[in-house]
DNA sequence: CAAATTTTTGACCGATTGGACAAACGTTAG
DNA sequence: CTAACGTTTGTCCAATCGGTCAAAAATTTG
């Protein structure tokens, strides 16, 4: 092992240029979708010629695939961290907060994912029905345990997870609409804190067991 | 006025064929986005040749624009109906129900809209910042009135509306993911009723004023 | 240094794209 | 029936698409 990872052996330039391309491709793919994006667009955004880009990634699909693989690892990290050890309400609250922070800090990744799902998930369908389903089922079981123990209100764990995904990712995927509706005053940087406050109230008061 | 509407005068065949094209275009645009869709795809889905399609709509953009105009009217109807006359909690509950029904019955329209927003809303931005913002502000004022009257819990009306949009449209836009995660058993036709039950509990228990 | 290797580029390819156009075909009113 | 009008199609076009290739330029290695 000379490269430090199990990647194919790569030079310094290859590392840097591939990173540059992936960064540019994230920008382009996330706003135009796969079919709507062109290699020329990505190459221009990366500041290189098309043949040069194709020297690092032989096909357009290879770029998208690499981007997608990286995305899913980090994207599901917050859910993986959802654990049985802490206080249930606190765990859920911090899961929501983490997801909202990801929508704020990685909106392009969120949109890339949304584009893929919107188009029928042709490239990651097996992953959804396999790895993702397994993870969600596992966490749903944890949540069910909390419900049985009376720590949170009884409801559908799967749809609870969906609603957390939907509400948080909304601030990345529909950002344009959110800012347009909130207007210049409330649509500024503070909108994520407002959203955090609102979501905390919505979910916690809704989930709190009757006292 | 001979045609009964203010449309340009059209023959029977034009009416029918234009409808056929719009139906096909809805299918294609909603799954591939604007740039990712081709006139040939739409023509084939509509069962006609490309030149024939271009006889009814001179440009690809014209089809998309027509589709978009129709969409927005029906899409915002549920929010327009949100009224000050009924019981606040009942009003909100039926708004959520109506939006969920639209996600179930018109998923392609939802995806068409999602695609447009995801791509930065280049074709409807003025509408968002104009008509839509006005409508939401108006309804937010209604909701604020309910809060002041102690009918529902105090929270941010704008983000409340966002969360209703997000959670309901999720079942149309991310349908593939929802079904993959729920699996064959729970991902069938009953999933919308499960979602309705869950959302009602989430929102109502969260909004109920402290007694 | 010089040789070997890696990186970059310009020119090019066939396929597909959005769209134009005139000719052919259908339909209908007089 | 026939002339006028509406509809459909085959052909064509310039631009753009994803991708190739050989040669030039830059870099690394000995």
CB-based contact, B198 to chain A, within 8 Å = yes
Contact between the CB of A60 and strand C at under 7 Å: no
Residue A51 CA distance to nucleotide D17 C1' (Å)? 14
In a domain, B4, yes or no: no
Report how many domains make up chain B: 2
Query: In this structure, what CATH number is given to the domain that contains residue B125?
Result: 1.10.357.10
Cα B121 to chain centroid distance, Å, stands at: 14
CA-based angle A35:A38:A39, to the nearest 5?
130
Q: ipTM value of the model? A: 0.91
**Residues B49, B86: one domain?**
no
Flag whether pLDDT at A209 surpasses 90. no
* pLDDT, average across residues A15-25: 96
Taking contacts as CB-CB distances below 8 angstroms, the residues of chain B near A35 are 32-33, 35-36
Nucleotide with smallest C1' distance to residue A56 CA: C7
- The list of chain B residues with pLDDT below 50 reads 1-6, 207-208, 210
pLDDT of residue A148: 92
- Per the listing, tokens 């123990």 go with A149
pLDDT of residue A30: 96
H-helix or E-strand containing A113? helix A107-118
Q: Give dist(CA A80, CA A71) in Å, integer.
A: 14
Taking contacts as CB-CB distances below 8 angstroms, the residues of chain B near A132 are 177, 180-181
CA-based angle B165:A37:B40, to the nearest 5?
90
Mean pLDDT of chain A: 91
Q: Are B72 and B127 in contact (CB under 8 A)?
A: yes
Q: Which residue is nearest to nucleotide C5 (CA to C1')?
A: A11
CB-based contact, B129 to chain A, within 8 Å = yes
**Residues B123, B62: one domain?**
no
Band (pLDDT 50/70/90 cuts) for residue A8 is low
**Residues B133, B54: one domain?**
no
pLDDT of residue A208: 46
Flag whether pLDDT at A93 surpasses 90. yes
pLDDT in tens, A37-67: 999 999 999 999 999 999 999 999 999 999 9
User: Residue A167: which of A186, A190, A195 has the closest Cα?
Assistant: A195
User: Residue B146: which of B135, B157, B162 has the closest Cα?
Assistant: B157
Report B:107-126 residues touching A (Cβ under 8 A).
111, 114-115, 117-121, 125
User: Residue A173: which of A118, A105, A107 has the closest Cα?
Assistant: A107
Contact between the CB of B13 and strand D at under 7 Å: yes
Nucleotide with smallest C1' distance to residue A35 CA: D17
**Residues A80, A62: one domain?**
no
**Residues A27, A112: one domain?**
no
Q: Are A149 and B195 in contact (CB under 8 A)?
A: no
pLDDT in tens, A168-206: 999 999 999 999 999 999 989 999 999 999 999 999 885
pLDDT of residue B8: 55
Range of the domain at A30: 12-66
pLDDT in tens, B23-38: 999 999 999 999 999 9
In a domain, B71, yes or no: no
In a domain, A71, yes or no: no
In a domain, B37, yes or no: yes
């Amino acid at each position: 092992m000379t490269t430090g990872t199990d990647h194919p052996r790569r030079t310094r330039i290859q590392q840097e240029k591939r990173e540059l391309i992936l960064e540019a491709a994230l920008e382009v793919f996330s706003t135009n979708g796969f079919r709507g994006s062109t290699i020329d667009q990505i190459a221009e955004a990366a500041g290189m010629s098309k043949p040069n880009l194709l020297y690092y990634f032989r096909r357009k699909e290879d770029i998208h695939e690499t981007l997608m693989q990286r995305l899913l690892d980090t994207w599901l990290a917050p859910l993986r961290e959802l654990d049985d050890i802490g206080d249930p309400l606190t765990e859920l609250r911090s899961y929501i907060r983490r997801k909202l922070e990801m929508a704020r800090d990685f909106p392009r990744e969120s949109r890339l994912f949304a584009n893929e799902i919107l188009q029928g998930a042709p490239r990651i369908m097996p992953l959804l029905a396999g790895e993702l389903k397994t993870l969600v089922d596992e966490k749903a079981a944890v949540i069910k345990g909390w419900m049985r123990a009376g720590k949170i209100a009884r409801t559908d764990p799967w749809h609870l997870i969906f609603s957390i995904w939907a509400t948080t990712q909304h601030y990345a995927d529909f950002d344009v609409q959110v800012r347009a509706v909130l207007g210049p005053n409330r649509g500024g940087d503070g909108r994520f804190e407002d959203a955090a406050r609102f979501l905390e109230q919505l979910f916690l008061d809704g989930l709190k067991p009757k006292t």
